[in-house]
Structure 1
């Protein structure tokens, strides 16, 4: 009985660890958010950046700082609300694999930070991003479980979740397309306004600069 209990506990810890190790190995779909610039700094012979710490190393050093208790609590509550099974595994990591636990908490905190940016600014993106995280989280857990046990039921569910993930990605892209179309419409309106009133804009800008020059000249005379 004791052996069985230990075996189950060790298996759950293994799966929990794999959940976060698999983050880098799973194939990621097209990101609907604005792509970040590459953090890789290539150093060629004679490069002036030689000897300077790379952006990625600075980021890693920054991320090594411990999260405060409040953010850790929020991260765990977020996991409990949106993926209870994951939350239980993370809590087991705290005792058996503290480094993986810290990594998991930081991943959750990063997710919360992204969601907080969207919550008041773009409600639809907030909803889609949250749903995408929930599905991603379940995919990681199932992929880890399949790698350990290879259950056909888990594989079937995994494929179903991946289909949902693709559908969500499509929704995100369509959402971004609508936003892009609105921006294009605004740009087109600005272009037409300038084209129709070009001389008016030139005169207004010239008068503005001319007034600034006169004010500057008056100040110089007073100072003398």
Structure 2
């Protein structure tokens, strides 16, 4: 009986230490990251020691503010959609197909995630320049095609999606591997086509993973 009480006391002390450590870490994170943001937010309402909304009135009254806001919405929505599409396609290939060299494919998918985004941007900018390989190849074609302008909205969306789709892949491939194959086999046995199995079974079960990663903010390049 005494041994059991000692064990219970030790476990209680261990959990108390863990709780104390968690509170200390939370306090450190609050002081280092949250508190400066709160202070900056509060300072935006002060002008010479008086409460004011003049800063916000000035910002929201400028037309370029709404132009920037609209461009940001389009950029984030486009990059998120493209990243989700690329991540889902590659996750499906790795989780379901029997293609060869899957490990190499996974490694190549993670390369854009490992490389810093600004290096990736500079690389694509150089590749799509007027003196790059893509422009040289397009000149050989009979059509008047030009490389993608990386400083345009389309170029920014493409680069952002390319930088973030490996994260979508990592989230989605794990979800796809956990989907019970019996449900898909039952749908196939009932006469459903591959597209209907994906639409009615695979995609709805993978949707929580996709929705979770879609909520992650896209960091600027």
Instruction: Give the TM-score normalised by structure 1.
Output: 0.22
